[in-house]
A and B are shown apart, each in its own frame.
Chain A
Amino acid sequence: MAELLSFRSLSAEDERHTILAGLSLHVDKGETVALVGESGCGKTMSIGALFGILPDDVEVTGGSILFDGEDVLLYNGKGRRDKLYRRAGFVPQNTTDSLYPLMPVSKVMTDAYVHNHPEIGRKAAVERAAALLSSLGIEDAKRVLSLYPFQLSGGMKQRVNIASALMDDIELLVADEPTSALDIHIRRQIETLYASLADRDGLSMLIVSHDLGFVRSVADRIYVMYAGRIIEEGLCDEIFSDPVHPYTKSLIALGSMNARDRNLDLPELGYSNSVPDRNSPSCAFLSRCSCRRDSCSCSVEYFRLSETHFVRCVL
């Protein structure tokens, strides 16, 4: 299958830390890929790099991000808009403040669309928005469109954000922690929603999450990220039924939740400890690993276990 999105040894750092240390991953056309890992491992930063929304002090220092064969990092302004933004949608983690508060939902959803498609009138655009909202399970779409963002509930905001991302006929949908910070029953609805989006023709998805239960239900393939790089990748089944890396194993054993929050058998890893790890060729997980050996501190290769299953571990 053809590659739609591909990160090629992407590196990023801020004034003091390495944040991404040669991150490589790819999303094929039509595929749903999940990127999992604990808070602070660089998941959100990698998406920030893709969409050009990194914090001010974080800089991409190497590598490339190809979207449909072209390095989006080389484009700015209108070029990037045409190459990337109009073909890829993004649902941020915090959907509360991501809708412009001073416009009604109808305008928030359609503004970019109307300006990028001058041939389509505002009215047609609003109709399209209403249709999208209905397809996402909102019954009174017309009423929702007339409201202001602050009048929407959490689940509603989530849907409006997804719908806004889908306004253009996008090929890739990127969602950052779509199920965190949601009530349990809304979470179920949103999970179902993403599962149905995953089945859409011509739509690829990259989902960043630490919610393994959710990931298992939607993803075709999974990347496990640790300290700024991928430590294991494989098909959903391979990762869940046959995890190889000790970190992946403990993540799954911990039953999906954020490892650092639970902090069960993973010893706390100080931030300062992780800094040298991100750049060294040795295993970044070394200091927390329960089955480490001498060879772990040498350069650790990315081993191929099957056609699709890779791991960065000497085991």
Chain B
Amino acid sequence: MKRHSISFILGTVITVVAIIFSAVSLVFTPYDPESMDIYNRFQGPSAEHLLGTDHFGRDILSRIMSGSLVALSSALLSVTIGALLGIVIGLVSALSPKYVSSILQRIIDALMAFPTILIALMLVTIAGKGILPSALAVALAIVPVFSRLVYTMILETKEKLYIKAAVSYGAGRFRIAAFHLFPPMFSRLVTQFTSSIGRAILLESSLSFLGLGIQPPSSSLGMMLSEARSYVLTYPYQAIPAGTTLLLIVLGFNLLGDGLSEVIDGGRRIRHG
């Protein structure tokens, strides 16, 4: 195992802090994130409001805390749905007869051909705005990544000698899948899952930014930035806290995903010669 992976350490620290930071909002926020105070609009950072207040005089720190929780939990939901669907499609298409698998692969191709934002907007056209349609849209964007990953990994592993050996001594399909195919895939799936969370948070926040995700008065980071947009030239500070938080959270998960694969691959690297 590689002793030091900066990505891994940094990613772990940021994600853990982000998770704690947003989880705390369940029991405590400095102010009610939805309570307005029209007389104290557009405040800069101060002792009372650590990160200032927004256009309704709401406490930005409190809103960021609860907004992060929305971002994290909806990303987790989307990635879980997307990963499960993707893994199932990948498994089925890798293990079933050729014509089934080529049909499934074409469907995945089709899914990949849609730009993500278009899928999301299309879903919103059907199902209306809200957190569920947007989570579903994000999940759909995640599906192809996982199904491709599982599909190629299985095809690669299928050719490995130890699988052929297992088949030759009569191990059943299920046994091979459970004991021989899946374990080596697990670490790569975990890695993919982690970095997909970063991607899902980005997508969800873009949808919120367009006003298609979670609806007011709840807050999400994307929506906060969408509100800040109206005041971007008069009160530019409004765009800073939520944006920075968003960047850091996404960065944290991306670094963690990268670091995980580094740590895992580093452990696997074999010297020869």
- So, do A and B actually touch in the complex, CB under 8 Å? yes
Specify the chain A residue showing the minimal Cβ separation from B272: A55
Inter-chain contacts of A55 with B (CB < 8 A): 271, 273
Place the interface of chain A in its size category. Answer: under 10
Contact with A along B261-273 (1 / 0, CB 8 A): 0000000000101
Closest Cβ of chain A: how far from B2's Cβ, in Å? 11
Closest Cβ of chain B: how far from A258's Cβ, in Å? 14
Bound together, the chains give a CA A86 to CA B232 distance in angstroms of 64
Inter-chain contacts of A48 with B (CB < 8 A): 273
Specify the chain A residue showing the minimal Cβ separation from B269: A57
Inter-chain contacts of A14 with B (CB < 8 A): 271
For residues 9 through 61 of chain A, which have their beta carbon under 8 Å from a beta carbon of chain B?
A: 14, 44-45, 48, 55
Inter-chain contacts of B271 with A (CB < 8 A): 14, 55
Closest Cβ of chain A: how far from B4's Cβ, in Å? 12
Specify the chain B residue showing the minimal Cβ separation from A17: B271
Bound together, the chains give a CA A204 to CA B111 distance in angstroms of 62
Inter-chain contacts of A45 with B (CB < 8 A): 273
Bound together, the chains give a CA A18 to CA B271 distance in angstroms of 14
Inter-chain contacts of B273 with A (CB < 8 A): 44-45, 48, 55
Bound together, the chains give a CA A255 to CA B118 distance in angstroms of 71
Bound together, the chains give a CA A45 to CA B273 distance in angstroms of 8
Bound together, the chains give a CA A226 to CA B166 distance in angstroms of 39
Closest Cβ of chain A: how far from B265's Cβ, in Å? 15
Bound together, the chains give a CA A90 to CA B263 distance in angstroms of 36
Bound together, the chains give a CA A44 to CA B273 distance in angstroms of 7
For residues 247 through 273 of chain B, which have their beta carbon under 8 Å from a beta carbon of chain A?
A: 271, 273
Closest Cβ of chain A: how far from B34's Cβ, in Å? 56
Specify the chain B residue showing the minimal Cβ separation from A40: B273
Closest Cβ of chain B: how far from A55's Cβ, in Å? 7
Closest Cβ of chain A: how far from B267's Cβ, in Å? 14
Bound together, the chains give a CA A14 to CA B272 distance in angstroms of 12
Bound together, the chains give a CA A140 to CA B273 distance in angstroms of 35
Bound together, the chains give a CA A103 to CA B70 distance in angstroms of 55
Bound together, the chains give a CA A55 to CA B273 distance in angstroms of 9
For residues 155 through 201 of chain B, which have their beta carbon under 8 Å from a beta carbon of chain A?
A: none
Specify the chain B residue showing the minimal Cβ separation from A57: B271
Bound together, the chains give a CA A55 to CA B269 distance in angstroms of 13
Closest Cβ of chain A: how far from B1's Cβ, in Å? 13
Contact with B along A80-98 (1 / 0, CB 8 A): 0000000000000000000
Inter-chain contacts of A44 with B (CB < 8 A): 273
Specify the chain A residue showing the minimal Cβ separation from B273: A44
Bound together, the chains give a CA A260 to CA B271 distance in angstroms of 17
Closest Cβ of chain B: how far from A225's Cβ, in Å? 14
Bound together, the chains give a CA A48 to CA B271 distance in angstroms of 15
Bound together, the chains give a CA A202 to CA B17 distance in angstroms of 70
Specify the chain A residue showing the minimal Cβ separation from B3: A15
Closest Cβ of chain A: how far from B264's Cβ, in Å? 19
Bound together, the chains give a CA A221 to CA B51 distance in angstroms of 79
Bound together, the chains give a CA A3 to CA B271 distance in angstroms of 34
Closest Cβ of chain B: how far from A18's Cβ, in Å? 14
Bound together, the chains give a CA A44 to CA B271 distance in angstroms of 14
Closest Cβ of chain B: how far from A124's Cβ, in Å? 38
Bound together, the chains give a CA A55 to CA B271 distance in angstroms of 10
Specify the chain B residue showing the minimal Cβ separation from A42: B273
Specify the chain B residue showing the minimal Cβ separation from A45: B273
Closest Cβ of chain B: how far from A51's Cβ, in Å? 14
For residues 14 through 71 of chain B, which have their beta carbon under 8 Å from a beta carbon of chain A?
A: none
Contact with A along B58-86 (1 / 0, CB 8 A): 00000000000000000000000000000
Bound together, the chains give a CA A35 to CA B271 distance in angstroms of 22
For residues 121 through 171 of chain A, which have their beta carbon under 8 Å from a beta carbon of chain B?
A: none
Closest Cβ of chain B: how far from A91's Cβ, in Å? 16
Bound together, the chains give a CA A45 to CA B271 distance in angstroms of 13
Bound together, the chains give a CA A70 to CA B271 distance in angstroms of 32
Closest Cβ of chain B: how far from A39's Cβ, in Å? 9
6 CB contacts below 8 A, A to B, read A14-B271, A44-B273, A45-B273, A48-B273, A55-B271, A55-B273
Q: Can you list the 4 inter-chain pairs with the closest CB atoms, starting with the nearest?
A: A44-B273, A55-B273, A45-B273, A14-B271
